[in-house]
Amino acid sequence: MKRIAVAGFLHESNTFQTRPTDRSAFAAQTLVFGDAWLNEWRQAHHEVAGFFDVLEEHGVHAAPIFLGWATPGGPVADAWFEEVANYLTQRLGSGVYDGCLLALHGAMVTPRWPDADAELLRRIRRAVGRDFPLAVTFDLHGNLPSTLPELCSMVVAYRTNPHVDQRQCGQRAARLLLRQLRGEVHPFAAISKPPVIISLARQDTSEPPLRPFFEDLHRLEQQPTVLAVSFLLGFPYADVPHMGPAFLAVTDGDRALAEKIVADLSARLWEHREALQADLPDASQAVRQALAAQRTPVILVDFGDNVGGGSAADGTVLLAELLRQGASESVVCLYDPQAVQECERAGLGATVHLRVGGKTDQLHGEPVAVTGQVRRLHHGTYEELEARHGGLRVQRMGPTALLELPQRNWLVLTSLRHPPFSLGQLTCLGLEPRRLRIIVVKGAIAWKAAYLPIAGTVIGVDTPGVTPARVTRLHYRHVPPLYPLQSP
């Protein structure tokens, strides 16, 4: 019986975020050597669960060897990257596996390795040899270098943003790996990188201009020699030489076809370069619009503090503006472990005077002075059973406090940075999202899977921070000429 190693080492690294992501940041979320992660992840809407779906269906022995996932944040510490890379190369190079299914993000950066995912694959390739079947899945936000196709035998990326197709992505990769193992196909991969940045505000795959591209990926795969076509949107918050979108086509040995597919798609994307940029109102305009909106809840999208893009999660620009303009029945979530401790010390029902948020850096607003009552203290772990962005079943925000401010405004204070991927972050505290007037989500697109079904009005906000909607707000040093930074 064939033995397939299954592993995942996933991180989206924001190089504008100064706090590094070390071993402890993985340990706070998911970090398991061996197979003890299966209980939590086997039923998750994640690509690793998709791997197991197909391997089990085909009676192939699946050997889980490692899973590491941390909330997007600053670059991954080199020492921790080395530890994982050494472990994976040793295990995979041991000769006991016939192939490997590996889940990567594609936008991992360490101080030493701007292309950490590719560096990991280079090392694995050296350990296992050129012909070892190695199928890799990537997040839609991977920044892939042009050398990527040489490093793995099969590449498949998610196709939706919000990412609700992760499990299917894993299934596709596993099916293709099995075909390669049976000798049915001999994959050839081509890559093309269009010289444009896609603003996060334009990265909804269900809307134009991106939607027709994703519809075409399915159409292209109908050709008999085409195995997989992927469109990675890129992650603009990494100042690395290979930052930007990529098209990848894997064919059954048809080099000319693979190269033509990616070249055509790249040329088409370039035609849309202006429509791929964002123009959003600032915080003061956006809050005014929110207060005047008839259809509630109003979702105010805090682009500059996009936690799922690695930001501080304690940005106060919208909180300060909501309080200044006299909002009521709003909710804002902030990462502030110090404030949580103060609430815990004060106890349930107590009135506290706090300075919240704005503590990580100088880019996301000042701490805001608030007075409120502690309404809930919670351990901060909850479950999400639906397919939601990120594919996590168990969500961890760390010890959490719910504070009620005057005019029924609410503050959710968390001890871990927590992205708005699930309504559970509010409902586990007893808040009813539908009954609120204004909900601030610290994100770009990912929040939509959970919050769009209950939204009355959506207003994207051009807030400052390390994840701005307008990439021209950032100072890049290492990227090549890319529109709109410079015309190539």
Give the type of residue at 167: R
Task: Report the residue count for the chain.
Answer: 488
What residues make contact with Zn ion under the rule CB under 5 A? 139, 141
Q: What is the 3-state secondary structure (H, E, C) of 327-387?
A: CCCEEEEEECHHHHHHHHHHCCCCEEEEEECCCCCCCCCCCEEEEEEEEEEECCEEECCCC
CB of 106 vs Zn ion, minimal distance in Å = 9
**Residue 181: which H helix or E strand, with range?**
helix 166-181
Q: Count CA atoms closer than 13 A to 233's CA, side-chain side.
A: 28
CB of 469 vs Zn ion, minimal distance in Å = 16
Q: Is 81 helix (H, G, I), strand (E, B) or coil?
A: helix
Q: What is the number of the residue whose Cβ is closest to Zn ion? A: 141
User: How far is Cα 294 from Cα 296, in angstroms, rounded to an integer?
Assistant: 6
CB of 441 vs Zn ion, minimal distance in Å = 16
- Residue closer to Zn ion by CB (options 141, 175) is 141
CB of 187 vs Zn ion, minimal distance in Å = 24
399, two tokens: 């010890």
CB of 326 vs Zn ion, minimal distance in Å = 36
- Residue closer to Zn ion by CB (options 8, 357) is 8
- Residue closer to Zn ion by CB (options 76, 178) is 76
Sort strands 394-396 and 381-383 into parallel, antiparallel or unpaired: antiparallel
- Residue closer to Zn ion by CB (options 115, 139) is 139
CB of 217 vs Zn ion, minimal distance in Å = 17
CB of 163 vs Zn ion, minimal distance in Å = 6
CB-based contacts of 371, cutoff 8 Å, min separation 6? 351, 352, 353, 354, 405, 406
- Residue closer to Zn ion by CB (options 232, 423) is 232
Task: Kindly list the strands in the beta sheet with 134-138, ordered across the sheet, starting from the edge strand earlier in the chain.
Answer: 30-33, 61-69, 3-10, 99-104, 134-138, 154-157
Nearest Cα to Cα of residue 432 among 297, 320, 322: 297
